[in-house]
Amino acid sequence: MQQFDRDLMLLLNDVARLLRTRFDQRARARGMTRAQWVILSRVHAKPGLSQNELAALLEVEPISVGRLVDRLEARGLLERRSDPADRRIRRLHLLPAAAPVLEEITKSRDVLVTELLEGVDPDIRSQVVDALLQMKNNLTSESAPVAVGA
């Protein structure tokens, strides 16, 4: 095995890319995109998100979320509702037609998790999750050092 095969940064990137590719394939097989599935999942987890809040969560521009929401709204899966406190804000809410899609997303996620973790000892799984949470915390903390001259 070559040295770069064990490079943590490359491995994290490769695993994330492969997961996105698999999820893309599953979503496309159902006539949707992974991005649409992510939006449905996020709105399901937190009903009433605004498009701007959703864009911030997804780290994309609000216009990109707007286009995806337009498509989901046209399919009858979600709707925009006026915010009772601020007429300028439109809140996102799932419609009943989204329920079977969410079930499919959950099934696909479960299959991918099973594939991802096949052959990995449960104790190691827990350690990996703990390590990834620490890495995420390290990168999102206020005190994260800023590289100079990079």
pLDDT in tens, 55-74: 999 989 999 999 999 999 99
pLDDT in tens, 19-34: 999 999 999 998 999 9
Query: What gap in Å lies between CA 23 and CA 109, rounded to an integer?
Result: 8
Query: What gap in Å lies between CA 103 and CA 114, rounded to an integer?
Result: 17
> CB within 8 A of 55, min separation 6: which ones?
61, 62, 64, 65
Query: Is residue 50 a contact partner of residue 124, using CB atoms and an 8 Å limit?
Result: no
CATH among 1.10.10.10, 3.40.190.10, 2.30.40.10, 3.40.1350.10 for 3-138 = 1.10.10.10
**pLDDT band (50, 70, 90) for residue 93:** very high
Q: What is the pLDDT of residue 30?
A: 87
Q: How many residues does the chain have?
A: 150
The letter for the amino acid at 99 is: A
